[in-house]
Amino acid sequence: MSIYRSLNLILLGPPGSGKGTQAKVLSEKYHIPHVSTGDMLRDEVRRGTGLGRQAKAIMDRGELVPDEIVGSMILHRLDKEDCARGVILDGYPRNVAQAGVLDGILAELGRTLERVIVIDVDDEEIVRRLGGRRSCPKCGRVYHLVFNPPRDGKTCDDCGVALVQRDDDREDVIRERLRLYHQKTAPLIELYEKRGLIVTIDGSQPVEGVTGSIIDALGSPLSA
Ligand code: ADP
Ligand code: ADP
Ligand code: ZN
């Protein structure tokens, strides 16, 4: 598979930096699942579960869902067999408390964190990206109206379903999410820097360039 016996990664970066886009590609290349707490929460919302109803109002304001809720979702997900050889975490952890919970879960499961990849993109570019973000309500594939459009400009290449805009990709909510990123999530960079886990990638490159930089930093999935 790769030079790693297992590969547990965190993708860290502001909303819209390309975590989900990169995670999907890396998941196929390294054969490890993409675990996104945002996707898991949106799935709960779609299914209209109690948790989904509780989370929806919080997400629509751009605030963070309580740590206990996402912590228990992550615990159950990482405990599944398909995560035994590694995982790509996207959107978790999002604050120092969640990083502590993750350490506990990984220790319990006998796993280690190999790398924390920071995707660096400035706030102006973020607003451009999130304004044009559209996704497939069926398969979750993410597009951009200008940077990464579907073939016909409006429906998913894979499903033919009309693309939708996320309720939280509105300018005022984007600003709140960015504020919370800088306040709560960015401090994790220093925390993981102290453990020597951080790799910083220039996220302003085109999608393929970002993927190439990440693979350069991690080592090719084909080596060894
Ligand atoms: P983004 O595209 O902004 O990175 P996500 O899809 O990761 O967004 O998350 C969307 C929303 O889901 C967040 O604004 C937050 O309300 C909620 N959420 C996702 N992951 C977490 C988490 N780890 N802790 C708390 N809330 C979360
Ligand atoms: P995140 O998961 O970090 O919130 P996404 O992967 O959903 O970010 O990307 C946000 C938006 O930016 C999407 O519309 C996506 O198509 C677009 N995008 C992602 N990576 C790039 C890139 N390198 N260059 C231009 N647009 C990008
Ligand atoms: Zn689709």
The pLDDT tens digits for 154-187 are 999 999 999 999 999 999 999 999 999 999 999 9
| Per-residue DSSP letter, 182 | I
| pLDDT over 90 at 222, yes or no | no
Q: Residue written as tokens 């209209």?
A: 48
| Cis amide linkage into residue 93, ω under 30° from 0 | yes
Select which of 115, 129, 133, 134 is catalytic.
133
CA–centroid distance, 17 to ligand 2, in Å, is 6
- pLDDT, position 3: 66
Name the average pLDDT for the chain. Answer: 95
125 confidence band (pLDDT: 50, 70, 90): very high
**pLDDT (average), residues 192-220:** 96
Structure confidence at residue 223 (pLDDT): 53
pLDDT tens, position by position, 190-201: 999 999 999 999
Nearest to 112 by CA among 218, 221, 27, 9: 9
> CB of 84 within 8 A of CB of 175?
no
Query: Residue 73, Cα to own-chain centre: how many angstroms?
Result: 15
Minimum-distance ligand 2 atom for the alpha carbon of 11: 3
pLDDT number for residue 139: 87
| Nearest listed ligand to the Cα of residue 184 | 1
The pTM is what? 0.95
- The superfamily (CATH) of domain 7-129+170-218 is P-loop containing nucleotide triphosphate hydrolases (3.40.50.300)
Which residues neighbour 175 within 8 Å (Cβ) at sequence distance 6 or greater? 62
* CA 37 / ligand 3 centre spacing (Å): 19
> Of the residues 24, 166, 170, 184, which is catalytic?
166
DSSP-based three-state secondary structure for 87: strand
Q: What is the pLDDT of residue 5?
A: 78
